Chain A
């Protein structure tokens, strides 16, 4: 027991007045907040997920905002879209012409106020807009010309006029406030939060739950708390650690959460709903999805692949990480992870298919490629998903028996495979001015060789890491993190409850290969565990403290797939020394899980891991299709940034919804899951640490 003086963290809030009312509602049965009045925000380096209100059955986030802003005219202010200043000149006498054109331009931005947001329920609108865009597209004017060039007719009687136009497709000059989870640009980050808040425009009495990145320091969290309370005047605010949210989402109280992001990976051990800060792998750089793209660029760049192509290749369902020891088709060698980089990783991947001749140039040659003109607004506003998916389907049908030579081989056996590369090409031949620029979506097939299996192999150029690629880095970090958990009896359970979230983990075969690497490097042989030695007995132990050397009670029988051959182990003995073999961990609302009383022992346990397993998302959330972990062919529907289904890789957002439900609605503030405005006024932002989870 630690005795200590009561905490009295009074922030610099001396001048704040104290509202006289206690925070609790007067009617004990009435929840302080309503389901539909809760705002959830989960910022990430690439996408920020947001949702207003909790649906009856939890769904993936309804809004996705790109985590970027554009510097506005005024310094220190930001706009959600690229704003270009344009200058045009027209004759003063030509009043009618000007007045007819002006409304057209003004129309463009107002027409689609949330172009940038992907909305689930706007799919219909998106399609409509996309189709509606076609006829106008013909008459549309291209504006992308340098200013002044179109000053053709103005000599003496022209008036110069500046106007502003939002270019919703441009990323030029974009500021990404979050890099590798860290907030690198605070004004921009706050501008983004404000933009999201205003876009969703929650009603007055709406608390906010923010999913916090593990890398945020205590001071960062205080800063955010202060901003949220003072800018949005929220009645309540909760900050939930992303890893903990994932555990909530998966309905377990003890888990190892591996979050594979864009540029980083976080590895967190959670025991009994508590985050283990010590030994936590925070923002491991160079391990995320970008690292895989970089590797593809390295492999394929010389063959004319652009970064965007590699990115789409990574997302396609032909890119796959093969489990260690699997033979790459067409070569005699095995996949590279787990082997010696010095022996020449470049060596055997050199039997490349390479893209078919001319596949990546001259893409316009193919007949089906010209998909038609899309209105930019419709494309970016997201739910073109359905639309795209339909097109995808059609294409798939057309291509049914395209390749008779390689009939129905699994992807991992094929030496070459091709994927649909899609890009937006500015419309040619329309050099008129004014109006938003139109793009066509081109799609063409690109053939790739065995490089597509090598995205997790170590890069050649990055000289300061000696590991065999990102999977080994992640596996080592998991080992380190679990070993750092002080409660040794929990370690075995931690190994058996890996939660792998984050979009980077959607790459086909990622999870299986990660488990393969862990098995190769860390799983203990059965003879090193207790089973081949004497039957554990507390009676023969000459210890007055009552310690035993039985294995950790959490141990579960070895996994069917990932345990090495269990030679020499009596299965009955295994069954006898383990609890409830095969009993699934009941996924449920947190707190409903059966909590097993554990005796905390510092030593006297056996080594871990004897097995390693991943958890699956509870199945009663049908909207979270279990995509990330299965990677069945065909699940990766879209090739653009907007894919329709979001599976278990967004389990953290599901958990955030559960957390919000529990903290804001169900338990009425008993668990101190959120900080109320009253408490903020009283204690200041630093008190968030007492509430944040």
Chain B
């Protein structure tokens, strides 16, 4: 190629310029430019709503964690099963995810910035049109979706992208497939441990095997509910989580002693909603998960006996406990209990019962081993060994300490014959953003160029083109 000639459009596909990859999840929404190795923008999918001066105000981004506001309530546009429920708000949250860090806010109309006072009759009309420039007018958009996203939701998604955001090209990819790509595999059994769901997605040659897709609600939020159940039964006294925003100062106390903290009180008309407190409690719980919670690594269940005949619980008990301090200063060692809270992901009987929990007691079919079994049962016998040789673990909740060890133990116990290989990236970011990274790779491939659904095609065929093109 003669370097003094500009490259032809077809050589690199002009539209791959700064494609945006948007990976919305139940707990967080990830967005970034294709080709980069981590999403630049990571925001909670939760948003806050409150009234100030008689106006309803919305809070997006990390601010919901930082600043309590009067009467603030927390909402999530995505339902527990990972499917969007509130489309208007989903659009706003997603839009915030890429405008805040990537594309910037829409440029203000130069005629309205106070500098140019032009009599209204002189306003050129074409400038008006330009001022309504859509936020993604010059960026192709690759979005992800769960494997069980219904056709209606998919059509709605492309509609928003094309009509509200004005993207010139769009593609909708399954997050399971993308997570496989992120691990460099075209065929894999993707185990995604998310916040609201765990899912198993068999991927073969880059195509999702729909009949094998399984999901259940035993995700990170379920583990949180188990931790809460544990706290309720805690001895010597039940533990209540008081988030930081309700505490003005705390004093150091010995382990297990009553907390001594100064609490804040808010007048009833100003106090944030219970949903806000729940969200912030969740923050503390995720710190607890990071620091304390541990998955019994196997072999065998926690309730069973180990290979040398010693009950596993005994071995677990003999390992040193881990201390944890709550925002109000209460602190305690957590011994064998820290294994119990996640055990029900593998063993439904081990669940800590809590009648008040919003999660019903798990059924055996919802546990990971059963899901995997069901998933493999849904795919062709011939490719099962191939899938088992390429098990990909992704999702932030899979970062629970010891999770992958237990998972491989379970898989080996369940499928003794075939060679089982679990690949789980050690890098936290790669585990948390698996499907985003896959999308980043996919959208930056030159060969992906032909896959985009262009605006023209959308105008021609309507929203249901997404069913035909994004399989």
- Taking Cβ atoms with an 8 Å cutoff, the residues of A that contact B are 1-5, 7-18, 20, 71, 75-76, 175, 184-188, 216-220, 277-281, 284, 324, 338-342, 463-468, 473, 476-477, 479-480, 483-484, 486-488, 520-522, 524-530, 532-534, 536-537, 540-545, 547, 549, 564-565, 567-568, 600, 602-607, 686, 689
Contacts and interface: CB of A to CB of B under 8 A. Distances in A.
A542 B17 contact: no
A524 B432 contact: no
Nearest to B252: A525
A180 to B, nearest CB: 13
Contacts of B7: 10, 14
Contact of A339 (B69, B262, B272): B262
A2 B249 contact: no
Interface string B378-417: 0000000000000000000001111001000000000000
B115 A71 contact: yes
Contact of A466 (B6, B245, B289, B430): B245
Contact of B291 (A1, A522, A568, A606): A606
Interface stretch (B101-109, B169-177, B218-226): B101-109
Interface of B: 3-4, 6-7, 9, 12, 14, 16-18, 33, 35-38, 40-42, 50, 52-53, 57, 62-63, 65-70, 99-104, 107-108, 110, 113, 115-116, 182, 184, 244-245, 247-255, 262, 264-267, 270, 272, 283, 287, 289-291, 293-294, 297, 315-316, 318-325, 327, 329, 331, 333, 399-402, 405, 425-432, 437, 440-441, 444-446
Given A18-B4, A476-B244, A524-B331, A466 B446 contact: no
19 contacts: A2-B437, A2-B441, A7-B35, A8-B444, A14-B14, A219-B104, A340-B264, A466-B68, A483-B287, A484-B62, A520-B248, A525-B331, A527-B255, A528-B323, A541-B319, A543-B405, A545-B402, A547-B402, A603-B293
B297 A542 contact: yes
A530 B65 CA distance: 28
Name the residue in A18, A76, A537 with the highest tally of chain B Cβ atoms < 10 Å from its Cβ: A18
Contacts of A278: 42
B270 A466 contact: yes
A603 B290 contact: yes
Contacts of B428: 486-487, 600, 602
B291 A536 contact: no
B62 A281 contact: yes
B342 to A, nearest CB: 12
B97 to A, nearest CB: 12
B331 A528 contact: yes
Given A8-B12, A543-B297, A342 B265 contact: yes
A339 B247 CA distance: 9
A8 B16 contact: yes
B444 A324 contact: no
Contacts of A525: 251-254, 325, 329, 331
B470 to A, nearest CB: 20
Contact of A2 (B108, B297, B430): B430
Contact of B69 (A2, A466, A545, A607): A466
B324 A602 contact: no
A196 B70 CA distance: 44
B243 to A, nearest CB: 10
Given A473-B67, A477-B66, A533 B321 contact: yes
A527 B325 CA distance: 9
Contacts of B67: 284, 465-467, 473, 476
Contacts of A527: 252-255, 323, 331
B249 A520 contact: yes
Contacts of A600: 426-428
Nearest to B61: A282
Contact of A606 (B50, B270, B321, B323): B323
A463 B265 CA distance: 15
B66 A16 contact: no
B248 A3 contact: no
A306 B431 CA distance: 55
Nearest to B107: A186
A513 B319 CA distance: 41
A3 B315 contact: no
B441 A541 contact: no
A542 B53 CA distance: 58
A541 B4 CA distance: 63
A520 B115 CA distance: 48
Contacts of B252: 525-527, 564-565, 567
Nearest to A488: B290
A565 B251 CA distance: 10
B245 A686 contact: no
